[in-house]
Structure 1
Amino acid sequence: MVASFTGLNIAVAGTGSIGKRHISEIEKLTSRVNWTFVRENKTHDQFSLEKQASLVSSVRQALITKPHFLIISNPSFLHAEIIQQALQASIPFYVEKPVAINHEQISALSNAIKVFHPLPCTQVGCNLRFLPSIRRFKEVIDEGLIGHIARASFEVGQWLPDWRPATNYIDSYSANPDQGGGVLLDLIHEIDIARWIFGTMKPISCIKSYVPSLEILSESVASATLTTPNNAIVNINLDYIARKPVRRYQVVGDKGTIVWDLSLKELTLQTVTNRYVLSCGPNDFDILGTYRTAWTTFLDSLCNDLVCVQPLTEGLETSALAIQLKEMACQI
């Protein structure tokens, strides 16, 4: 089990806010970690000194040390190249979403998966799949409690300058489409959850817009329509604009409607005669707790040679769908 992991050698490409969060969670689950940080200039800061980390200037140098696994948490446009290096070296890895930002990267990763098969243990950081209330949301749908599904909507929005208060959002990758910025890739969780629930979906249309007040090159609003294999209509609405953060999912069936609302911290089922609150406890909506669950799952898979719960192939399919929507999006 996880408790047996001591003396791990872990390499990290990307020690920004999300990289630091991953490091913090790992240290809560393991002991005596030996860290190697990838930094092109090999310059220490307070954080690397606190972790007594070794510094290397490239991922290839980090992989030569044969770490137990690699964390890939640098800007999105760099993920695909590092993934290929890790696969070639047969090093397990945990990679932040998205795994790719264009069709060329999708093609390169698809080829690498074929060439370097069997793959090491991998996990993609779409951590909302581990949120208890969302797992219950999916269970109710899978159990057929809302009947034949007619339509669904997945909505998320938050004012981009509020995301990372300590940094200038205009300088972030979110503002730069060449680095994976824009809501269709940056807010890929909703696309991933929709695909997780409904499987392969057919994109019908996508529109995008740019809000001048943000002064960024990436699309700041997008609305996509897809259909499921059972002809349900799925709408996915994403934005960098909502001044009050919103994250809300709704699936409508001929026997009932289920609604998941993060702001209200409530999961409800509405039938013809009754409204049921299926989940409203704080732990069921604790997104920060999903990082702990994700890392517990990954370490268990790695330690016990279990099937990876959210492997690279899953992340690749979600990224491919997001890229398809991004490329078909019409500007308004």
Structure 2
Amino acid sequence: MKVLILGLGSIARKHIAALRRINPAIEVSALRSVSPSAKEEGIKNIYSLDEARSFAPDFIIIATPTYLHYENIETCLQLDIPLLIEKPIAHNLQIQSLVPEIRKRGIKTYIACNLRFLDSLKYVKGTFLNERYRINEVNVYCGSYLPSWRPGQDFRKSYSAQEKNGGGVHLDLIHELDYIYWFFGKPRQVLSMKKKNSSLDISAVDYANFILDYDSFAASVILNYFRKDAKRILEIVTNEGTVLVDLLNNQVYLDGKSVFKSEQKIIDTYEDQLLYFLGVIKGERKSFNEIEEALEILNICLQ
């Protein structure tokens, strides 16, 4: 197997590590923008599309900062091979202009929202989203501390902290909006409030509050960068009781009683989603979260 990757930051390294667990003999090349670039063990640097064609990858992973996604995708379309694009698809809706060309070329796409592969969320989707459970209210909360995300780095210099580089908690933590869309589909209406005046003192949005209006309930989604004691939960209030998902511990409760627990870690979902995408490429799996769906979710995020 051969994979071409754009970007070699922390997320790219998670993808590479997962690929090597799947296939230790995998060949990885990185399409670099600066020549020469520092060498990485087990990764070949290439600097042009001609070199990329000669490498003949099976698929491409785009894991660059969000603001570069448009030009990266536009460049990679010329290779006519499947694209795994790290979330979010982009930081604005300009990216939708590339969809007709992607479809014309028949390029398979997947926007990497790995929480769709978290056991606790899959359990909830398969167990509680049916006619027996009438949903009255949904609450989502994800708070974590941006300065601790990338140890050894000044968080203020990260793309997450900089609005001009596509940063912002609503984009970084689009996972929460993604799985709500995966569970319930497109909302009738979206209300939101975004702020960037916390003690972090960064230019990007560090607090976001969304209300998604569905036919019989509303979903509240709150995201922030400034909570030191990380908390990531989903609460679904139904006629049969309250479902609580502790995403950090991969556990599900019904009215306070544990009904599901998985030893899977969130890092394990990277391997699961790559196995899924390999199945899509081979025609063995039905695709989801292609570029059109990701654009629907991005549109919610940007409202």
Equivalence for 2:267: 288
Query: Does 2:86 match 1:96?
Result: yes
Question: Which shows bigger deviation, 161-170 or 25-34?
Answer: 25-34
**Aligned match for 1:72, one of 58, 62, 71:** 62
Q: Matched residue of 1:287: which SS?
A: coil
Question: Which shows bigger deviation, 90-99 or 74-83?
Answer: 74-83
> How much does 1:305 deviate?
4.9
Equivalence for 2:100: 111
CA distance in 2, matches of 1:60, 1:173: 29
**Aligned match for 1:12, one of 2, 5, 25:** 5
CA distance in 2, matches of 1:180, 1:202: 27
**Aligned match for 1:189, one of 171, 175, 197:** 175
**Aligned match for 1:85, one of 75, 79, 91:** 75
Equivalence for 2:134: 148
- Greater share of strand: 2
Give me the TM-score of the superposition, normalised by structure 2: 0.92
Give me the TM-score of the superposition, normalised by structure 1: 0.84
Moved over 4 A (4+): 58-61
Percent identity (aligned): 29
| 1:320 counterpart letter in structure 2 | N
Equivalence for 2:124: 137
State whether residues 258 and 268 of structure 1, in contact with CA within 8 Å, keep that contact through their aligned partners in structure 2.
yes
Equivalence for 1:124: 111
Q: CA RMSD in A?
A: 2.0
Equivalence for 1:23: 16
Structure 1 residues 68 and 277, CA gap change in structure 2 (3 angstroms): same
1:39-78 to 2 correspondences below 5 Å = 39-45=32-38, 48=40, 50-51=41-42, 53-58=43-48, 61-63=51-53, 65-78=55-68
State whether residues 84 and 112 of structure 1, in contact with CA within 8 Å, keep that contact through their aligned partners in structure 2.
no
| 2:35 counterpart letter in structure 1 | K
> How much does 1:165 deviate?
1.3
CA distance in 1, matches of 2:298, 2:78: 21
Q: Which runs of 5+ in 1 are unaligned?
A: 1-7, 326-332
**Aligned match for 1:175, one of 136, 144, 161:** 161
- 1:101-150 CA deviation, whole Å, 9 max, x = no partner? 11222x3133334433x333x222100000111101112232334x2211
State whether residues 63 and 91 of structure 1, in contact with CA within 8 Å, keep that contact through their aligned partners in structure 2.
no
| 1:154 counterpart letter in structure 2 | V
- Greater share of helix: 1
State whether residues 11 and 36 of structure 1, in contact with CA within 8 Å, keep that contact through their aligned partners in structure 2.
yes
1:289-304 to 2 correspondences below 5 Å = 289-304=268-283
Question: Which shows bigger deviation, 247-256 or 61-70?
Answer: 61-70
Question: Which shows bigger deviation, 107-116 or 163-172?
Answer: 107-116
> How much does 1:59 deviate?
5.6
Equivalence for 1:279: 260
| 1:217 counterpart letter in structure 2 | S
Question: Which shows bigger deviation, 167-176 or 202-211?
Answer: 202-211
| 2:124 counterpart letter in structure 1 | F
CA distance in 2, matches of 1:190, 1:119: 27
Structure 1 residues 60 and 200, CA gap change in structure 2 (3 angstroms): farther
| 1:277 counterpart letter in structure 2 | S
